[in-house]
Every structure is written in C-alpha cells, then in structure tokens.
Amino acid sequence: MASGTQDLSVRSESVQRMYDLYLSDRFQVNRRYQRKLVWSVEEKEKLIDSIFRDLPLPLFLVAELATEGTITYELIDGLQRLNAIFAFLENEYSVGGRFFDLDSLADTKLRKDEGKLVQRKPILNREESAALANYTVALSVFRAADEASVEEVFRRINSGGRRLSRQSLRQAGTISSLADLVRVVSSRIRGDTSPSESVPLRRMPQLSITNYNLDYGVNVDEIFWVVNGILRREDVRESLDEQLVLDVLLDCLIEPLPTSGTRIRDEYYNYGDPDQGISRESLTIANAIETAGAENVADAFMRVYDEVRSVLAASGQKFSSLIAAGSGGRAPRYYHGVFMAFYELIVKDRLRVRDYQAAAAALTNIGSGSMNVPGGGGDWTGPTKRTTIDSVKGIIRSAFEGPIVGEDLAAFGYASQLETILSNALVEQQLFDCKQGLYSLAPVRKFDEDNFKKIAKTMSAMANGGKHTVGYVAVGIADTDADAQRITQLDGVSPILFRGFRVVGIGREALLRGVDLNDYWHWLIQKLPSTGLEPGLASSIANSARLVPYHQHAVCLFKVQAGDTPNFFDGKIYERSGSDTVQVPNEQYVRIFDAFR
C-alpha cells in the first residue's frame, strides 16, 4: 500500500454531525478535480428516499488536512450525495411532496430563527425528520502525504464505470500545467470561477452548473456554448466544453497543428498507465506553456473569445445559426476552426477587427460552404485543420486591419475578465464591491462626493487584507433591482444581467457631466488622491484602473493591490468584514500589521 494512504480510518457519523461540519466549512472541495454539482432533483430525491427506507449509502471518502491549526476534510468521493442531503435539510427540494421540518434539527432551527432558512410546506412529520437527522453514514478518512496522493485516489476510484466522462478523468487524473490551463480557461468561459482551488462545500452551489429545476449557480442555458448551439446542455455536464478548449489550446501552442482526437488528447495529458513513463507530447506541451507563460496563454485565449463574441453580437444570431452548422455534430469543430482563424489573425499576425458586422457577414453560412470539418467524434488531422483555418482566415481577412504596432493588445479582452471577477465575488465578498455610479439617483442629479470617498475607504480597507491581497471595486454595476429600475427611468439605460449582477455602466454619467466618456474617466482618476487615500495606494489604483467595455456599457474597474504595510484612511485603519467596511479599533492595529510580516 502507498505510504500516503496508510493512515486510514472508517467511522460512523450522523447526518446532523455532518451538517455541523458543513456549516463550519470543514468540508472542502478541490476544484482541480471536483468542479460541478450535476445531480438532478430526481437523483437527489432517490438518495433521500434510500435514507427513509434505512438503506445503507456508499461510504464517503475524505482526506484529512490540517490548515492553520484547523482540521478540514477534502472530499474525494461523495460530493453529489452530501450536497443532496444538505440541500434537503435546507428545504431546497421536497421528497414525496414534503419538506424537511426545520424545527427538528438544532442547526436548521437556529438558521430558520435567524431568517437564513424559510420553512416550506407541506412539512415532513417530526419523527421522519428526526430519523433522517440521526441517520448514520460511513465516513472513510485518510491522512494524505501530499496533494498528488489525494488526486491519485480520486482518479482510481472513478476510473471504473461511467460516472465521469473521459475528459473529467483526464482533468482529475493529471497534475500538469495543461490540466490547470484547461480548467482556468473553461471556468472563465462558463462563469464558475473561484478565487482559489479549495472551496468550502457550502459555497459549491454558487459555482456549479444549474441543473434542471435547481435554483443556484450558473444557468446552463446561459453558458456561451449552449446559447450559441455549439454544445448541448448534456455536453457541458460531461465536460465536453473542456475537451473543446483543450483541442483549441493545443492548436494555439503546438506547431505544426496536431491531430484532434482521443488518443492525442490522452498523450498530451500523459493519461494512461503511469508505468509507461512521461509521454513526449506531455513534455512538449509543458515546455510550450512554460515558454509562453500560462497566464499569457489564458489572456490571449480570452481576448480572442471576446472578439468572437463581439462578432456574434453584431450579427444578432447564435453561432450555429450564423454559420449554418446544420446537423451531424459538427458545431464544436466549426467553432474550433473559426476561433483558430481569429486567433492567428489577432495574436500571431497582430491584426484587430475593423468591422464586426463585416466579419459576421463573412461568416454567414460558412458551414454549408467553405468549411470542411469531419462530423462525429473521429480524428481531425492537422493538415485538414490547417486547410480549414486558412480558408476561414481568407474569408474574414477584409474585416481586419493592421498589423498593430506598439499597441498593447492586452487592452482587449477585459469583458471576460470582468465576468471572472464578478463570478469570484459570489464566493469571496470581502475583496469585491460594486456601485451603480457616482451620481445620485435623486430627482436632482449631482456628483456624490461622499459616495466617492466611501468607495475610496473601501479600497483602503481591501488593501489592509495582508500582503499579496488583491481586491476590486466596480463602478457601473447596480446593487439592487430598485437602483437598476431607477437608472432605466432616469437615464433610459437597460441593465445587462450577468449572474445576478446588473451592469448599467457609467457612460450615462458622462452625459450628465456634459463631457465624453474618456474625459469623465480621466477626471475620476485625477480625483483619487483627494479622497483620503494614502498617496502610494492612490497612485497604484490609478495606474491599474481600467474602463471596461461590457456589451454597450462601460464599467469603471478599480484594482486594489496591497503593499508591504497597512494603509491609513483619514488617519484611521479600516478592514473588510464580509461585504462591509469597518474601522479597526486602535488596540487591534497589531493584528493588521502582523498580516504584513
């Protein structure tokens, strides 16, 4: 037996004890291999019905980890089942038409009394609810030698059967820069990013794909791939979006173009028998990523992704309709070919789109004519791909201009970065804040100096989170539906919705001030030093601030990076507590300074 898994124990735990661990964030999910909650309501109901029938459940497998003196349990097997149990306890769904009695369990009763849970009806009788709370499960705990041993266990227990797709197994079974890059890019496109790889189980619903009737996370019907008819809902569930991202990334990094197919994907992941050693392909892609820089590759990918989205927006059609993808399962490869044409023109040839409508017109019905891609899931050879990509490049080239000399191409692509920041904010509220704008919404519209100073105070508080802390404040995103409706009434601006955020932009405020957007933006930046911020922090924020185009709106994005020492604001130290900014008492200054040691 491997030394990393020898310290193994199995113990019985009641559902109520497991729920207590859940509420205290002791159950952690490593998103390198655990990414989505995918069970339907029907699957969850069947699990709870098994408990009511007093049938045994498969054991739950966790790795015990000690972090800063606290014992946490990283879930290896049982994510879907634990979520099903806790969701039923919290009245997310019913079984047999009845909801769990919140008063039958101390923790749920307390949360109901605090207004965090609402009892739905009809209610399951007290005896059955109590029996469920007292039901015992088998919890298998092992102390892992390192993260690699945890991931190897996950890979092995999921290698049999059909519980995971092959791409999910590649991701789970591989520790590599390629696997990380695929995960990062894919989650940015889906909108289920998180600030760190380890996430409390309690936060996972916000990061998971909305499934059937479940009201949480990312609505699968709003994900780019599904909206544009490139992949089906079921495909996203099976991680085929990640497989498509993988195929495209390989083409971005490897020359000449490799074949796209199952065997080649496995080789680049070095997925298979570990006794076979490291494949030449996996070494090649690792070197390519190291040379280019993983973040640079991801940023370039997202810049091109944003440009393709802009072309689709100009067309007013979804991708599959615009290009006339037809049937036969070719849509993913049509997208692959179009994306690579844009990538080579923008990143390699340093061109930029001159006319989005012209680009859309050039792509119209291209799937029924110029593009030659194989259907189904067979191999797509490198030479065939090269012919297809070159054909698309020739068709759309007239919609581009350049080459661009001396311009920072990273200035493009901030729309997807904004979406990533907003998605992260659903998990980590301390390091994000948003405001509808800087003009009041009263009948008499005036610039709100107090509000601007309050925003500056929030930024100072974020900078006191300790070394390497990074936070964001977005201006042009309404906090509430009421504010969004008021803005529509006053300024005639309709909000753009993204995961519950209402993007209204600040262009309307430039009109109120009687200047163009660029002048208004520079005026705001110049006001930062007068808000009470320390000069060094004000300068850092001003230098990294961005005006982010998002659909037809422009959002002011302030990036806050902590320095080497705490920051004072008007002679006081502030910090973030959840989504609030609070003053630190003098006697606690030592705690803040310790965070910078």
The single-letter code of the amino acid at 524 is L
Cis-peptide into 495, omega within 30 deg: no
Sheet holding 477-478, edge to edge: 477-478, 501-503, 496-498
The DSSP annotation for 455-474 comes to HHHHHHHHTTS-TT-EEEEE
User: Are both 381 and 232 inside the same structural domain?
Assistant: yes
Burial 475-490 (b: 16+ CB within 10 A, else e): bbbbeeeebbebbeee
527 vs 517: CA distance, rounded Å: 16
User: Which of these three, 131, 148, 163, is where a domain ends?
Assistant: 163
Name the domain count of the chain: 3
The residue assigned the tokens 């907003």 is 422
Residues 6+ apart with CB under 8 A from 279: 267, 268, 270
User: Are both 142 and 263 inside the same structural domain?
Assistant: no
Give backbone dihedrals phi and psi of 115, rounded to 5 degrees, phi first.
80, 10
Whole-number pLDDT of residue 552: 82
pTM to 2 decimals? 0.78
pLDDT mean by block of 10 residues, the chain; 597 residues: 60 96 94 77 93 93 81 90 96 95 96 95 95 95 73 65 68 79 94 86 85 69 95 90 97 94 91 73 92 92 95 96 86 96 94 95 90 77 94 96 63 75 87 95 95 97 93 95 96 92 95 92 94 95 91 92 94 93 95 91
User: Are both 229 and 146 inside the same structural domain?
Assistant: no
* Element (DSSP H or E) covering residue 378: none
Residue 438 included in any domain: yes
User: Which of these three, 119, 140, 163, is where a domain ends?
Assistant: 163
Residue 412 included in any domain: no
Residue 590 included in any domain: yes
Whole-number pLDDT of residue 408: 47
Burial 316-326 (b: 16+ CB within 10 A, else e): ebbbbbbbebe
Give backbone dihedrals phi and psi of 226, rounded to 5 degrees, phi first.
-80, -45
Residue 363 near residue 313 (C-beta atoms within 8 A): no
User: Are both 394 and 436 inside the same structural domain?
Assistant: no
3-state helix, strand, coil in the chain (%, to 5): 50, 15, 35
User: Are both 445 and 375 inside the same structural domain?
Assistant: no
Q: How far is CA 139 from CA 45, 59, 334, 403, 482, in A?
A: 21, 6, 46, 60, 47
Residue 413 included in any domain: no
Q: Which domain holds residue 366?
A: 220-401
Q: How far is CA 288 from CA 177, 282, 309, 389, in A?
A: 10, 10, 27, 21
Whole-number pLDDT of residue 32: 78
Residue 498 included in any domain: yes
DSSP strands (E only) in 436-539: 470-475, 477-478, 496-498, 501-503
Residue 209 included in any domain: no
User: Which of these three, 401, 420, 441, is where a domain ends?
Assistant: 401
User: Are both 227 and 327 inside the same structural domain?
Assistant: yes
Q: What is the CATH number of the domain that holds 453?
A: 3.30.950.30
Residue 63 included in any domain: yes
User: Are both 391 and 443 inside the same structural domain?
Assistant: no
Whole-number pLDDT of residue 4: 44
User: Are both 434 and 572 inside the same structural domain?
Assistant: yes
User: Are both 304 and 354 inside the same structural domain?
Assistant: yes
Radius of gyration for the chain, computed over Cα atoms and rounded to the nearest angstrom: 26
User: Are both 395 and 509 inside the same structural domain?
Assistant: no
Residue of 115, 73, 112 whose CA lies nearest to 89: 112
576 vs 121: CA distance, rounded Å: 38
User: Are both 380 and 449 inside the same structural domain?
Assistant: no
User: Are both 576 and 454 inside the same structural domain?
Assistant: yes
Whole-number pLDDT of residue 35: 66
Residue 199 included in any domain: no
Q: For residue 380, what are the β-bridge partners?
A: 260
